[in-house]
């Protein structure tokens, strides 16, 4: 199965995770011990909000209800319902993990 890469620019621009086409970005981050806050895991609460710096993600049939218009225009995405269509580059998740 073909995999894509998630580049973690907030750690090191060379650091990446490999992710399968069916795995959500959130799952890949958690499985690799990358700190990210989560709650609903269905795109509703917006707490996992993360900057998408480059590349394409796919929400499939899910709706990113936790994103407002300003966040969409600012290129944020919701990792809990997103899979990778291409390699992606992400910034630091917006809500810090305490
Ligand atoms: S965890 Fe709620 S929108 Fe991602």
Long-range contacts of 71-79 (CB under 8 A, 24+ apart): 71/46, 75/51, 76/49, 76/50, 76/51, 76/52, 77/25, 77/49, 77/50, 77/51, 77/52, 78/43, 78/46, 78/48, 78/49, 78/50, 79/24, 79/25, 79/26, 79/29, 79/36, 79/48, 79/50
- Please compute the mean of the pLDDT values over residues 1-22 and round it to a whole number: 92
Which CATH number fits the domain 4-90, given the four candidates 3.40.50.970, 1.10.1740.110, 3.10.20.30, 3.30.70.270?
3.10.20.30
Answer yes or no: is pLDDT of 56 > 90: yes
* CA 27 / ligand 1 centre spacing (Å): 12
Segments making up each domain of the chain, as ranges: 4-90
Answer yes or no: is pLDDT of 43 > 70: yes
Q: What is the pLDDT of residue 1?
A: 67
Give the ligand 1 atom nearest the CA of 43: 3
Give the ligand 1 atom nearest the CA of 39: 1
Give the ligand 1 atom nearest the CA of 78: 4
Q: Is the CB of 78 under 6 A from ligand 1?
A: yes
* CA 49 / ligand 1 centre spacing (Å): 7
């Amino acid at each position: 199965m073909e995999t894509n890469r998630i580049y973690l620019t907030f750690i090191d621009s060379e650091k990446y995770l490999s992710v399968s086409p069916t795995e959500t970005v959130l799952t890949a981050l958690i499985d690799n011990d990358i700190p990210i806050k989560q709650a609903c895991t269905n795109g509703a609460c917006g707490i996992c909000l993360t900057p998408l710096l480059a590349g394409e993600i796919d929400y499939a049939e899910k709706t990113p209800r936790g994103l407002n218009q300003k966040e969409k225009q600012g290129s944020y995405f919701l990792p809990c319902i997103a899979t990778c269509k291409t390699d992606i580059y992400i910034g630091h998740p917006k809500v810090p993990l305490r």
